[in-house]
């Protein structure tokens, strides 16, 4: 369905607005409690309230709604926009729903391949995600991703009939809730400098008719602490690479590897960015890999593994020192718009004094519109 916007005084603006999204239901059973319930970022220690106990979660908060906005071309500029929301604002409370803005941006593009984008969008360093039922998408288990307010410039260059190269450079700021020093101001805001992101993405047909994707990217930022045992400015950095390789018409191998420090703002460090006790950034590394097999037009299955391993020397106390997940799933398209998914995963979170595990079974039903 496409709507045309209306300008002032009732005049037709010719702006096309197309709604999209999906309704999703999840039923999840864990043999040990996770943070946070339906998301399953890591397995809670037994010392935590309810840690180690079985848990059942029903959820519909991954339900998503968005608007694609296209304006008529004007002065050689193609203007588009997007607004998208879901219900994950209250992440630490598994069964509490609150509306959250995911995306909100405007994009200006020229025929020569240059474009600029302003607003909240996916971070520049990531180009694809694992194919999963679980809404966490391996967050804190090897897959870094987030969305931030940003200003970004992009250059798309055709290298031939079946190949292209995309360069993206961005400055971004905000959406960091880290307040280690407890002064009521996010530590990233206190640094008063933006984060810098860049990526290079090569797309080309190699082994099949579908395009392969190769990415190399990085990020750098700062946070500032005051009123702690170790006040000062702390750095955040990331080196990130990924491959999405269709081996044939049915089989795709994909994965990402990365290394960095102070990455809790990007769902890294197993939620640990700065160790205020020792005054150090938490260095960490991780990645994930997945083999996806399309069985038929309406079915596909996959097996995958994700892991994150922060540097033990940068952690102290009851810190999380290792986190991984092995998973397998199956998807069935009951109609062109309805998909059922089933996923089994084994999660393992290692602490200084214990190792916690859970076996997770996730059923999902999704209707796309």
108-144 pLDDT, tens digit each = 999 999 999 999 999 999 889 999 999 999 999 999 9
d(CA 127, CA 145): 9
pLDDT at 8: 47
Residue with the two structure tokens 């409370």 = 93
pLDDT at 51: 64
Beta bridge partners, 4, equal 16
DSSP codes joined into one string, 290-341: EEEEEEETTEEEEEEEEEE---GGG--SS-EEEEEEEEEEEEEESSSSEEEE
pTM of structure: 0.92
Contacts of 310 (CB under 8 A, 6+ apart): 269, 270, 272, 282, 283, 284, 319, 320, 321, 322
pLDDT at 197: 97
pLDDT at 50: 62
35-57 pLDDT, tens digit each = 988 999 999 998 766 666 899 99
275-317 pLDDT, tens digit each = 989 999 999 999 999 999 999 999 999 999 999 999 999 999 9
User: Would you kindly state where each structural domain of the chain is located, as residue ranges?
Assistant: 3-368
The CATH class of 3-368 is mainly beta
Percent of the chain clearing pLDDT 70 (strictly above): 94
Q: Tell me what the mean pLDDT of segment 228-233 comes to.
A: 87
């Amino acid at each position: 369905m496409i709507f045309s916007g209306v300008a002032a005084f009732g005049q037709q603006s010719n702006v096309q607005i197309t709604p999209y999204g999906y309704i999703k239901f999840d039923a999840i059973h864990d043999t040990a409690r996770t943070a946070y319930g339906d998301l399953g970022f890591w397995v809670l220690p037994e010392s935590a309230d309810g840690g180690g106990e079985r848990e059942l979660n029903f959820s519909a908060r991954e339900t998503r709604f968005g608007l694609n906005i296209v304006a008529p071309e004007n002065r050689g500029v193609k203007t588009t926009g997007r607004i998208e929301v879901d219900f994950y604002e209250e992440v630490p409370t598994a069964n509490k729903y609150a509306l959250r803005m995911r995306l909100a941006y405007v994009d200006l593009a020229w025929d020569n391949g240059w474009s600029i984008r302003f607003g909240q969008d996916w971070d520049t360093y990531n180009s694809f995600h694992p194919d999963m039922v679980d809404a966490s998408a391996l967050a804190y288990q090897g897959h870094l991703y987030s969305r931030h307010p940003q200003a970004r410039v992009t250059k798309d260059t055709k290298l031939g009939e079946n190949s292209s190269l995309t360069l993206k450079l961005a400055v971004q700021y905000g959406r960091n809730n880290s307040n280690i020093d407890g002064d009521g101001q996010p530590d990233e805001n206190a640094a008063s400098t933006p984060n810098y992101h860049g990526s290079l993405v090569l797309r080309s047909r190699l082994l099949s008719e579908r395009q392969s994707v190769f990415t190399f990217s990085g990020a750098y930022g700062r946070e500032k602490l005051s009123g702690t045992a170790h006040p000062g400015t702390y750095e955040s950095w990331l080196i990130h690479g990924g491959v999405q390789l269709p081996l044939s018409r049915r089989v795709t191998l994909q994965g990402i590897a990365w290394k960095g420090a102070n990455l809790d703002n990007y769902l890294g460090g197993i939620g640990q960015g700065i160790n205020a006790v020792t005054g150090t950034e938490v260095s960490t590394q991780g990645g994930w890999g997945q083999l996806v097999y399309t069985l038929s037009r309406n079915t596909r299955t996959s097996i995958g593994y994700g892991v994150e391993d922060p540097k033990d020397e940068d952690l102290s106390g009851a810190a999380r020192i290792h986190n991984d997940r092995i998973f397998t799933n199956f998807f069935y398209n009951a109609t062109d718009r309805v998909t059922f998914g089933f996923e089994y995963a084994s999660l393992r979170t290692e602490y200084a004094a214990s190792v916690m595990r859970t076996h997770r079974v996730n059923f999902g039903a999704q209707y796309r519109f």
